[in-house]
Amino acid sequence: MTFPLSLPGIGAGVLLCFIPIVGEFVIPDLLAGSDRMMIGQTLWLEFFTNKDWPVASAIAIVLLVLLLIPLLIYEKLQRRHLEGNS
């Protein structure tokens, strides 16, 4: 019975972790690099190293969509929950 009541908090916690993780590129560089490319590192390379602005812009739009979709879903669920309680 406690789990359904904690779902809004779990959703908020997931979003609070997901948003910074998606754009993270400083920490892998500071920790001697990473074996895998993260989207933040890809953006940095495309913008500043390769000077390929169209590709970097497309990747940035994909990143924006990846961030907005969970936020919009969470907002819709919260609105539905609040309207159900009134």
- What confidence tens digit (pLDDT) does each residue in 31-52 have? 656 677 777 777 777 888 888 8
Residue 29: pLDDT band (50, 70, 90) is low
Return the domain boundaries, the chain.
Answer: 2-85
> pLDDT tens, 59-82?
888 888 888 898 898 889 889 888
Phi, psi of 20 (to 5 degrees): -70, -35
Burial of 40 (0-12, 13-18, 19+ CB in 10 A): buried
